[in-house]
Amino acid sequence: MNDVRLSPVDPLDFAGIGSIPTDADGGLDKDAAKPLFKALNRRLEALQENLYAHGKERLLVVLQATDTGGKDGTIRAVFDRTNPQGVHVTSFKKPTEEELAHDYLWRIHQHTPAAGHITVFNRSHYEDVLVVRVHDIVPEVRWRKRYEHIRNFEQMLADEGTTIVKIYLHISKDEQRERLQARIDEPAKHWKFSFGDLEERKRWDDYQAAFDEMIRETSTADAPWYVVPADRKWFRNLVISQILVDTLEGIAADTFPPNPELEGVVVE
């Protein structure tokens, strides 16, 4: 396969998201990528079934991106063939009053995956070092402490058997402009558009700095970040499928020990 495998971010070598191209194609074109993606999609389907059948391991996939980054599209494409009984998506929007009455991780923990399941976070606990920082919702001295909280929280999940993969969908400011304009120009996409997106776009540089530090501070051996070039949706989907297949190959083996209780059983 061409160059579609990404290494997780090593904080010691991380030069920032600005050093990573958003429009990479791995030496492929869209047509050449189709059979590769199809094969990965089928393999992901089989591995997810194995994970569910084993009923022991857990996989948490965290998706973060700026507005129009492609979180929803990624979920639809990459998990298209998986069994919805074993794959769950949780979207974290503006906290409710009840959620605000608790610590910021309270609403997160109850949605982490059960044994045998994959859970995808569409946005996540990382909003509490992104939005709160950019909009100055809590003091800096408070949100900075959250990097350590999050590292410890994710380490606890990992120690208890959850494999964690965190993916930042990396798009350019120009690509965001085109995607926002498409939502305005195409009536079928009007439901996706919010004038608030235009206000958030004005804070592009602030968000890039927040994403940069988030990745540097919280990419660990047991909860790594991957920065996925996402201007090309087909390449984004291919890369993420490869990441998930590689991850599941390590925790959802194909082999199953025989059940001794079934030896000699014949269905009449």
Q: Which residue has the tokens 């494409």?
A: 77
Distance from C-alpha of 5 to C-alpha of 24, rounded to nearest angstrom: 12
Average pLDDT, the chain: 96
Of 202, 210, 215, 99, the residue nearest 166 (C-alpha):
215
For 235-246, the pLDDT digits (tens) are: 999 999 999 999
Q: Is residue 218 in a domain?
A: yes
User: CA distances (Å), 158 to each of 50, 152, 167, 198, 217, in order?
Assistant: 20, 10, 17, 37, 17
Q: Is residue 111 in a domain?
A: yes
Mean of pLDDT values over 68-82: 97
For 144-190, the pLDDT digits (tens) are: 999 999 999 999 999 999 999 999 999 999 999 999 999 999 999 99
Distance from C-alpha of 101 to C-alpha of 117, rounded to nearest angstrom: 29
Diameter of the chain measured on Cα atoms: 71
Distance from C-alpha of 244 to C-alpha of 262, rounded to nearest angstrom: 33
Q: Is residue 42 in a domain?
A: yes
pTM: 0.95
Phi, psi at 104, each rounded to 5°: -70, -15
**Residue 92 DSSP SS3:** coil
Q: Is residue 156 in a domain?
A: yes
For 110-148, the pLDDT digits (tens) are: 999 999 999 999 999 999 999 999 999 999 999 999 999
Number of domains present in the structure of the chain? 1
Residue range of the domain that includes 217: 17-253
What count of other Cβ atoms lies within 10 Å of the Cβ of residue 248? 22
Q: Is residue 262 in a domain?
A: no
Q: Is residue 51 in a domain?
A: yes
What count of other Cβ atoms lies within 10 Å of the Cβ of residue 135? 11
Per-residue confidence (pLDDT) for residue 2, from 0 to 100: 60
As a whole number of Å, the end-to-end CA separation of the chain is 48
Q: Which residue has the higher pLDDT, 259 or 202?
A: 202
Which token pair is 67?
């507005």
Here the CATH number for the domain that contains residue 27 is 3.40.50.300
Q: Is residue 137 in a domain?
A: yes
Phi, psi at 229, each rounded to 5°: -55, 125
Q: Could you tell me where the DSSP H helices lie in 102-203?
A: 106-109, 131-134, 140-159, 173-185, 195-201
Return the bridge partners of 58, or none.
162
Give every CB contact of residue 201 below 8 A, 6+ residues apart in sequence. 67, 173, 176, 177, 180
Per-residue confidence (pLDDT) for residue 1, from 0 to 100: 46
- By percentage, how much of the chain surpasses pLDDT 90? 94
Which token pair is 196?
């608030």
Of 157, 168, 159, 87, the residue nearest 120 (C-alpha):
87
